[in-house]
């Protein structure tokens, strides 16, 4: 049984005060509920303070990126060990904004994923096609390449710390959401891929989040899809009034 998993990617939004207020409101709203998992993913600079604000709460805290190197002369970068050191639980790798705005490759994404796992962090690996790729009927080949390269070299045991997120690029921040049928197709395909790379039991236990314009009014229909195990939420995760209902309606 895969527990619903709702994560809020704040991207480069909020400030210290509003981030702390949001964390506090989520803490109160979630209480000690553990029937669903929740994570918040603030910008790097706020991670330590949000970790402290959520201490003792079941809400987990993540980072939006991580360096592909262990340590050393990498100006501007933050290592997986540093994130672990300040109490961070997980990192996102391969987000479409990293891939498409900053040109990050599947290989780099795979290195980042390994550094995170080696440091004892959990990982959300994002995959998803652009509109042009969907129109060219390349959705499966794109998510296959992103998933198989992204997961290269990961052990079966480490897959327990990996969540996949299917985020069609055309649905991110656009108000366009994949229909439940579109999500079902790709999520089912991804589960089959994980089964092929590892085996069926790993695939059955791997959670696959959907991301792209998730809102309180579409979460139920998305979660009704058997292979959708949660959501990676951007804009609607910035306010307790929209993020808490998404969490509530996820199961
Ligand atoms: P939106 O929910 O704002 O479309 O963002 C989705 C996303 O990219 C989450 O990582």
CATH number of the domain where residue 104 is located: 3.20.20.70
Any ligand 1 atom below 6 A from CB of 9: yes
Asked if the structure places residue 151 within a domain, the reply is yes
Question: Which token pair is 22?
Answer: 């949001």
Structural domain contains residue 239: no
Evaluate: CB of 233 within 6 angstroms of ligand 1.
Answer: yes
User: Which range marks the domain in which residue 85 is found?
Assistant: 5-232
Q: Say whether 95 is catalytic.
A: yes
Contact 141, 186 (CB under 8 A): no
Q: Which atom of ligand 1 is nearest to the CA of 41?
A: 10
For residue 43, the CA-to-ligand 1 centroid distance in Å is 14
Give a yes or no: residue 250 inside a domain: no
Q: Which of 129, 167, 187, 249 is catalytic?
A: 167
Number of domains in the chain: 1
Distance 231 CA to ligand 1 centre (A): 9
Does the beta carbon of 168 lie inside 6 Å of ligand 1? Answer: no
- Residue 245 falls inside a structural domain: no
Q: 174: closest CA among 127, 215, 120?
A: 215
DSSP for residue 158: G
Within a domain: residue 127? Answer: yes
240 within some domain: no
Task: Report the distance separating Cα 120 and Cα 86, nearest Å.
Answer: 13
- Cα 224 to Cα 176: distance, rounded to the nearest angstrom: 18
Measuring CA to CA, how many Å separate 81 from each of 8, 51, 102, 126? 22, 15, 23, 21
Instruction: Mention every residue, 6+ apart, whose C-beta is less than 8 A from residue 145.
Output: 106
Give distance in angstroms: CA of 219 to centre of ligand 1: 13
The active-site residue out of 95, 114, 187, 249 is 95
Atom of ligand 1 nearest to the CA of 175: 4
| Ligand 1 proximity of 209 Cβ (cutoff 6 Å) | no
| Burial degree of 185 (CB within 10 A; 0-12, 13-18, 19+) | middle
Side-chain half-sphere CA neighbours of 92 within 13 A: 32
**240 close to ligand 1 (CB < 6 Angstrom):** no
Residue of the CA atom closest to atom 7 of ligand 1: 234
Domain assignment of residue 242, yes or no? no
Q: Quick count: other Cβ atoms within 10 Å of Cβ 143?
A: 23
pLDDT in single tens digits along all 251 residues of the chain: 899 999 999 999 999 999 999 999 999 999 999 999 999 999 999 999 999 999 999 999 999 999 999 999 999 999 999 999 999 999 999 999 999 999 999 999 999 999 999 999 999 999 999 999 999 999 999 999 999 999 999 999 999 999 999 999 999 988 888 899 999 999 999 999 999 999 999 999 999 999 999 999 999 999 999 999 999 999 999 999 999 999 999 87
Distances (CA, A) of 44 to 7, 91, 170, 230: 16, 10, 26, 23
SS3 (DSSP) at 41:
strand
Does 63 fall in a domain? yes
Closest ligand 1 atom to the C-alpha of 211?
A: 6
Global pTM exceeds 0.75: yes
Identify whether 187 is a catalytic site residue.
Answer: no
């Amino acid at each position: 049984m895969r527990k619903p998993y709702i994560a809020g990617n704040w991207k480069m939004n909020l400030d210290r005060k509003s981030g702390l207020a949001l964390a506090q409101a989520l803490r109160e709203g979630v209480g000690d509920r553990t029937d669903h998992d929740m994570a918040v993913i603030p910008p790097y600079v706020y991670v330590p303070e949000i970790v402290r604000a959520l201490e003792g709460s079941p809400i987990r805290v993540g980072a939006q990126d991580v360096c592909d190197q262990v340590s050393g002369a990498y100006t501007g970068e933050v290592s997986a060990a540093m994130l672990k050191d300040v109490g961070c639980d997980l990192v996102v790798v391969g987000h479409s904004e990293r891939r498409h705005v900053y040109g990050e490759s599947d290989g780099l994404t795979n290195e980042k994923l390994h550094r995170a796992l080696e440091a004892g962090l959990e990982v959300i690996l994002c995959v998803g096609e652009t509109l042009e790729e969907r129109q060219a009927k390349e959705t499966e080949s794109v998510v296959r390449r992103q998933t198989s390269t992204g997961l290269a070299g990961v052990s079966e045991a480490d897959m327990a710390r990996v969540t996949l997120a299917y985020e069609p690029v055309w649905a991110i921040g656009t108000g366009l959401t994949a229909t439940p049928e579109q999500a079902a197709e790709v999520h089912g395909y991804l589960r089959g891929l994980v089964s092929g790379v590892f085996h069926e039991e790993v695939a059955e236990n791997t959670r696959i989040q959907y991301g792209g314009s998730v809102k309180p009014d579409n979460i139920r229909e998305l979660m009704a899809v058997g292979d959708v195990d949660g959501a990676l939420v951007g804009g609607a995760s910035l306010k307790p009034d929209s993020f808490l209902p998404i969490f509530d309606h996820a199961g």
